[in-house]
A and B are shown apart, each in its own frame.
Chain A
Amino acid sequence: MAQLFTRDTQAIFWNNNTTAIQRMLDYDYTIKRDKPSVAAIVAPTSSGKFEKFFYGPDEIMVPTFKTTAEAKAAQPQADVLLNFASFRTAYDVTMEALEIGGFSTIMITAEGIPERLARKMNATARANGVVVIGPATVGGIAPGAFKIANVGGTITNIVNSKLHRAGSCGLVTRSGGLFNELSNIISINADGIAEGVAIGGDRFVGSVFIDNLLRMESNPQVKYMLLLGEVGGIEEYKVIDAIKEGKITKPVIAWCIGTIAKYYDSGVQFGHAGASANAERETAEAKNRAMSEAGIYVPESFNDLPNKIKEVYESLHLAPIQEPEMNVVPTVRRSKQFICTISDDRGDEATYAGFPISSVALPSTGKGIGDVISLLWFKKQYPKWATDFIETVLKTVADHGPAVSGAHNAKVTARAGKSVVESLVTGLLTIGPRFGGAIDGAAQYFKYADDNGLSPKEFLGYMKNEGIPIPGIGHRIKSLKNPDLRVKGLMEYAAEYFPSTPLLDYARTVEALTTSKKENLILNVDGTIGILMVDMWRALGYAEEEIDEFISSGTLNAFFIVGRSIGFIGHILDEKRLEMPMYRHPMDDILYDVQMAQEI
């Protein structure tokens, strides 16, 4: 792998760190990436399904998941994990990601992960060929392609430091703050960086200087490299060895900070946890001297580093970099209060899920109300057998006479002189678990029984335990001998046009058992509709979880609401036409049993 990241690299961001994610997306927009660099967010405690972010002036939704496994399954192409978990959980998050697999780079930001855990995590990643950046790091960047989280700071600084496009320096530091500083120095004194990594300040970090420099050696964009080391450790000597062995041939500029440490005994901790010299060899001065002797360009002091960079860069006589066009992130942006994913009225003609209204409304299109529902409710074009089924359902549930409670309420309200809409909602408000709710219930419980492989007997036992009569079973007067023709029609339609009807088939076995106990315990019209809706969605290729979600969000009820509104309005108009007076219930139809209230 010559390059750590490309313009197609996408990451899963562990922890909903909205500021850092927004910075990544601002960067993506600035450099005109095709896809956002964050494909998913893992937010174990969040309840939503997505988080909104700005992408330039607009907003986009980045999906959120509760676990890394779910996020990776949904976004398998995202091969970078940005692990922003705390020092308490960062190890577990990394190990789980290594277990899941499919990640090429894992960046860990937490500082102070227990050393033993950090070592194990780093060793496991190395054995799996996964590059670890950190722990205790701000990350890294491939300018013009992909930027980790907060690296580079604000978008203004990024552009000032030429981090928006590839230059020719490969930069490796321990410190995150100085990484940013050096990017700036390199942009002033040379042409910017091609790739950069801050390896992290803890004693045990995953990829070390040599790992990154060897990769940069094989990256043709990198023409020379800059290493900023620190007092402590012997990692710089590995770089010296690689140069001596000819594994690194590109020019290297290097400086080790912490020359002050020689004045103090080990009691003073300068800088990072990893920065503590245990031997003369590990002092900044010894390392600077050794690197200089090995032919590395070492300045006189840190203050002199800019001149050394300029000198090396100019000696290479590189062609000037073409400055790419950039997008400019607007300074003032307002988050949208509402999101709409079904229709759009901004163009010439309003659309339903992308289709101009006229293209589905006019008779010549051959489309019906079932098509409109499939577009506006499900954002899909359902096949004709399904839209016909939907229409059949609507027609079937449109009315059931004046005596049912919803219609009765609508009629009473209309007779009180209220408007159509007031009377209609009175009727609609009656719809619920006891009136019209059997469609939802039947779908929910029969699907549960089928999903869990319950035999009809076990299902009956389960419902008895729950203390609920089986929704969708039973009719006042109809029975097997005297079938409900609406049910019969729906079943015949399904048998002819549905690719298959597994849930209905199951429900029929349940019906066989219930009717053996009592004649009228048949699958009624509500039950048949609910069950066939599930079969329809299954045949259309929806996942079981999606169907469960339709049921729990009340979609089935919605069919009843739309259909029955037609009947309610009929009853209301009937009352208006007949000019019926205010209704008062006859007193002799009420049992009065009122006791004197007792004092307590």
Chain B
Amino acid sequence: MAQKAIREYDAKSILAKHWDKYFPRFTYAYETVLVKNGPELREAAIDHSWLSSKTLVAKPDMLFGKRGKNGLVLFKDKAPGDVTLVKAANWIDSKTKEKQEVHFSFEGDTPSGNPSVDYLTHFIVEPFAPHDQAEEYYISATCVGDDDVLYMSAEGGMEVEEGWDEKVVEVAFPITATEAEIEEKIKANIPADVAQKDKAAFAQFAIGFFKAYRELNFAYLEINPFVMQGRKIELLDMVAKLDDTAGFMMVEEWGNVEYPTAFGMEEKSPEVLAIEDADAKTGASLKLTLLKPDARIWTMVAGGGASVVYADTIADLAGIEDLANYGEYSGGPTTGETKFYAETILDLMTRKKDLQGRDKILIIGGAIANFTDVAATFTGIILAFEEYADKMKEIGMKIYVRRGGPNYEKGLRDIKAAADRLGLWIDVYGPETHVTDIVRMAVEA
């Protein structure tokens, strides 16, 4: 996926790095640290004296919002703005000890739906910034349809979310808009509620914000709220996504940014990480997602479109409970890359027998390839068979193959001969059989 969420801390760091370019008339102190636990925070105070000299705000920085409603923003001990370093470190320690419940949706202040439960692992800590409600504003930008849209409001924080239609001004810009057009349009659309004396400054900030969003290749950028006190800006809360396909152009601009797994999502398994790593190193495409590792049907499908069609068909004909994984290989992977991909899947698949004692099913599917050499990729799969043949026989497995494209006759012949030689159960079909028909055969068998 091209659009990836980043931590609030990284979003602020990127803006801070380019602050003078986009916001030359404003100042931002960039007093913020990211820590994993209390001791790290105490350690950070050695380099960041403000952690000891100022009162603090601490909150998890793990891609989820509604932290206030979840009771996960520390800004007061006895009264707002009295949180010391010691207090913040202790609070973080208390929150990391055991798994926490987090609700992603609320109706009013009441959580709706089931909470996600996971460990909190990253916290952002900043100085407490006293300010008037009137100094809070909202701004965000993202791409809607073909246009970039800038959202601005004179009110920030929770107010804006609950009165979106009345309080937010939306301004859309085509991708080809010039800087002059952008400036003019923003100046003409400053929310009416912004005080007259602040309108010019707000416009300046909004223009810089939108330029930063465009030029730094953000896919989504939101500050809610930001505080404007004369020339001084505070970024109280930020949400950002980057277009990671622009990463090669943004090495300097973004610095060392990470793309964390969302709270409550299972950490990626080592196998999935290994495939991701292999994918990053090849011009071909290798993708793997584990859905239900105990399930009966595994897929090893060539092609982005075909892999979806197989998943759809398995869900339709066998049911979603039977589908163990989703993934694809495409774009002409080498024999070695295919072998690695096949070994990873066979390894996962042969760890446990089917809970109901049935044979497992391996779908080696694919449409008619445009340019991928079928025999070459199948050679990789055959090498993996040789490695895992004993385990495959031990857990019981039926293999269904369907593929077409360059050199497919040889590929099909080779894989059939190899399976027969190794004593594996296999059925092999070419382009004369409908692409997903092997799923029907496998399920009906």
* Contacts from A to B (Cβ < 8 Å): 19-20, 87-88, 111-117, 119-120, 123-124, 127, 138, 150-154, 157, 160-161, 173-178, 180-181, 184-185, 201-203, 228, 230-231, 257-260, 263-264, 267-273, 275-276, 284, 301-303, 306
Contact = CB atoms under 8 A, between A and B. Distances in A.
A138 B248 CA distance: 24
B437 interface: yes
Contacts of B287: 269
B47 interface: no
Given A120-B175, A303-B436, A303-B440, A177 B369 contact: yes
A174 B367 CA distance: 14
The 7 closest A-B pairs by CB, nearest first: A175-B305, A177-B303, A114-B246, A181-B367, A178-B305, A150-B371, A271-B308
A181 B175 contact: no
A486 B370 CA distance: 68
Contacts of B1: 269, 273, 276
Given A180-B368, A257-B308, A153 B289 contact: no
Interface stretch (B229-237, B251-259, B310-318, B376-384): B310-318
B175 A116 contact: yes
B38 interface: no
Contact of B303 (A119, A124, A175): A175
Contacts of A114: 217, 243, 245-246, 249
Given A123-B174, A150-B371, A301-B313, A230 B305 contact: yes
A561 to B, nearest CB: 50
Nearest to B176: A123
Nearest to B266: A267
A258 B243 contact: no
Interface in B283-324: 285, 287, 289, 291, 302-309, 311-317, 320, 323
B2 A177 contact: no
A263 B320 contact: yes
B330 interface: yes
Nearest to A284: B312
B243 A264 contact: no
A293 to B, nearest CB: 21
Contacts of B366: 177
Given A115-B246, A177-B303, A260-B312, 8 more contacts: A19-B371, A177-B370, A180-B405, A181-B368, A201-B304, A259-B312, A263-B315, A269-B287
Interface in B390-426: 404-407
A180 B313 contact: no
B166 interface: no
B265 interface: yes
Contact of A153 (B302, B311, B406): B406
Nearest to A157: B368
Contacts of B175: 116, 119-120, 123
B56 interface: no
B219 interface: yes
Q: Is the interface of B mostly helix, strand, loop or mixed?
A: mixed
Interface string B320-347: 1001001010110000000000000000
A150 B406 CA distance: 11
A178 to B, nearest CB: 4
Interface string B190-214: 0000000000000000000000001
Nearest to A120: B175
B243 A115 contact: yes
Contacts of B158: none
Given A127-B176, A273-B1, A178 B370 contact: no
A230 B305 CA distance: 9
A257 B303 CA distance: 13
A114 B370 CA distance: 25
Contacts of A161: 368
A303 B313 contact: yes
A87 B406 CA distance: 25
B434 interface: yes
Given A153-B369, A180-B368, A184-B431, A113 B307 contact: no
Nearest to A175: B305
Q: What interface size band does chain B fall in?
A: 35 or more
B291 A268 contact: yes
Interface in B240-281: 243, 245-246, 248-249, 262, 265
Contacts of B306: 175, 177-178, 181
Contacts of A117: 246
Contacts of A276: 1
Contact of A116 (B243, B314, B331, B371): B243
B404 A176 contact: no
A387 B21 CA distance: 69
B246 A177 contact: no
B305 A173 contact: yes
A230 B312 CA distance: 11
A112 B2 contact: yes
A273 B308 CA distance: 13
A20 B406 CA distance: 13
Given A123-B175, A271-B305, A153 B368 contact: yes
B143 interface: yes
B2 A302 contact: no
B146 interface: yes
A548 B425 CA distance: 70
Contact of B404 (A112, A116, A184, A230): A184
A117 B2 CA distance: 13
B435 interface: yes
27 contacts: A87-B248, A111-B331, A114-B243, A115-B143, A115-B246, A116-B175, A120-B176, A153-B371, A157-B404, A175-B305, A176-B303, A177-B366, A178-B305, A178-B367, A202-B2, A263-B315, A264-B291, A267-B262, A268-B326, A269-B1, A270-B307, A271-B328, A273-B1, A276-B1, A284-B312, A302-B309, A303-B317
B435 A181 contact: yes
Interface string B357-381: 0000000001111110000000000
Contacts of A123: 146, 174-176
A167 to B, nearest CB: 17
Contact of B248 (A88, A184, A260): A88
Contacts of B302: 177
Contacts of B262: 267
Contacts of B308: 230-231, 257-258, 260, 270-271, 275
